[in-house]
Structures are given as structure tokens and as C-alpha cells.
A = this chain, B = another copy of it.
Amino acid sequence: VLKKKIAVLAGDGIGPEVCREAIKVLEAVAERFGHQFTFDQQLMGACAIDATGDPLPQQTLDACFAADAVLLGAIGDPKYDNDPSAKVRPEQGLLRLRKSLGLYANIRPVTAYDALLAHSPLKPERISGTDMLIFRELTGGIYFGDKGRTDDGQGAYDHCTYSREEIERIAHRAFQAAETRRRKLTLVDKANVLETSRLWREVVQQIAPQYPEVRVDYLFVDNAAMQVILNPKQFDVILTENMFGDIISDEASVIAGSLGLLPSASVGDQVALFEPIHGSYPQAKGRGIANPIATILSGAMLLEHFGLQEEADAVKAAVQAALDSNILTPELNALTPCSTEQVGNFIAYQV
């Protein structure tokens, strides 16, 4: 019997609803395969600000360190977005969590599901067969640099920095992943303008000879933003810095036809974290229309992280069954929509 403790940060908006279904599926896996998973629910994000004044209370952080993995729903609330002077924000909790847990690599698979080609804004022949894995650096760059207002109050600044070591550790992970896949790695940067990008290019060029089987190429981020749409099949592993990764990976998500399908893993030296790539979607909260699949597939990545490949495959097969049977929430099935709970129940039952 494998015993694992999972900290659950359901967060805001639709976070709690989609986490509920992912937990249901993980419990079904535990029962079928004879494991024991315990779930420790903790506050983070706007709900934590409301309850404690802090988007990432110490108790939550302690629970994450004490866990074998973390499952996150979504955080964010519009009441903070249009108030540029808000001092405390849900996002600060997420950024601080990533930094505290040392989650330097965010890994996002993007695949085009044949069952959903009709839902993609892209023509089917362009995207069918797409299978890329995006490595986004997650604890450095401009999101974590010095920021503030200038003394005269008339200006603002954000500083972007990267060290060789920050680049090396994620680059090695990306190369290693490429070795087990189609052996192609694309670095996305803006080395014709930015010094940090030139450092990224330098480090990747230095590391590349250690992975002789991996073909490396380089794309400027503006060009990459086109190529991801024009010809997504050209990509295998994409490696990039924090902000470019934020933009390019969200952009790439349109290929799948719904944000509601895409999971992610954030890994580092300590406990790893798994979360859907979508946000807290507050307009949908409590209406039973949120797609739980991205969170359920994040659960599958969590199982893989535990070394439970068979279990992870069972979850993925159950998701595929839901897709094939059209057991899907309204954004993917307008005629005979299922609720968040119905989709979760079906997948848990199939596992």
C-alpha cells in the first residue's frame, strides 16, 4: 500500500469545484489500485485574504512542505484586478508559493484531441497530431525582480534578472524530456534585444553538447507567437523564461479547443505542485459548468510524479472515454451538456 499526503489548495472561483472532482478521481484510483491518499485542504488566494489577510498563510505553506505533493485549483478575484493600488493580491500568494517551494520548472503538455478538433479555432489539418511540452521557468525573471515606483511618483519599474544557474537547472530538465520524446528542443527568447535572452542562448548552447541526440533551435518570441499557431506540429519541447512562457503557453492552449483540458506540473527540488492552466473563472463559480478535466489531468501528472504510471494511464484513458462519449461540460458540448460533477463522476467511475 502506497501512502501519500496531498495538500489541496482549492483557491477561488471555480477552484473548489474542479478540485472536488479531481480528488474524487484520485480517490477512485486509490481504491482500485490499493493506495492510500489523504487530502489536506488549505486556504490560498483571495479566499485566504478574506479569512486571514494573507494570500498565503503560514499554515498553508507548512501544509505544503509536509505533503508529498500539492494540488492547486485556481486563484484570483476581479475585485483586485481593476484596482492598481491594491496592496495585497491573490497572485502574490501564488508567486510566493512557487518561490518558497522552489518550483522553478512549470511543465505544460499541449495536445490536440481528435475528438475536439471541431472546437478549436484552428483548422483541423493544422493542429491534428500536435504534441508539445512547454518548459516555462517559474521562479525568476521579471515577475520576481525588483519593482516599484520612481521617487517622483511619475514612473514605475520592473527588473528582469537571470543567473546562469537558474537557466541551467531548467534547461537540463528540458533536454532530458526531449531525449525521451522526439528529440527536438526550441529555445524561445528575444536575444536580438535582451541581455537576459542572450544569457539564455549562451547557456543553452553550452549545455547542448551534453545531449548530442537533441536537435536545438532558437526562435525569437515574436516569431514563436506566430509559429505556435501557424505550424504547432513543428514543436516538441519548448524551453523559455517566465514571462514568455506565461504568454506562449496560454496562447498554445487554444490549440486544444478548450482551456479546460490542460494540466500542468510545477517541479523543483522539493515538493511538486499540480494545477490546471486555467484561471479562477469567477463568472462560472457555483454554476456547475466548469470543466474539471484540466484538474483531473493535473492529478494524472501528480500520479506520474509519484511513479504511478499505470494509475496515471488509467486516469488518462478515463478522460479519453469522457471525450469519446461526449460527457463534457457546456463549452465543449452545447447540445447535451453535463455538469462539472457529472463529468467527474463519469471519469471516476471509468478509472
Interface positions of A (Cβ within 8 A of B): 76, 80-82, 84-85, 89, 91, 95, 121-123, 126, 142-143, 145, 147-150, 154-165, 190-196, 198-199, 201-202, 205, 218, 220-223, 225-226, 229-231, 243, 246-248, 250-251, 253-254, 259, 279
- What are 30 of the A-B contact pairs (CB < 8 Å)? A81-B192, A82-B205, A84-B191, A84-B201, A85-B202, A121-B123, A122-B123, A122-B229, A123-B123, A145-B157, A150-B163, A155-B161, A155-B163, A155-B164, A155-B199, A156-B161, A157-B160, A158-B160, A158-B194, A158-B195, A159-B159, A159-B160, A222-B247, A222-B251, A225-B247, A225-B250, A226-B251, A226-B254, A229-B229, A251-B251
- Complex alpha-carbon distance, A195 and B194, angstroms: 19
Interface residue from B84, B95, B253 paired with A199 (Cβ < 8 Å)? B84
Q: Which residue of B lies closest to A279 (CB)?
A: B223
Q: Is the CB of A121 within 8 A of B246?
A: no
Cβ–Cβ contact A202 & B84, under 8 A: yes
Would you list the 8 A-B pairs with minimal beta carbon distance, nearest first? A225-B251, A84-B198, A156-B199, A147-B195, A222-B250, A155-B163, A157-B161, A156-B195
> In whole angstroms, how far apart are the Cα atoms of A123 and B127 in the complex?
12
Q: How far is the CB of A231 from chain B (nearest CB, A)?
A: 8
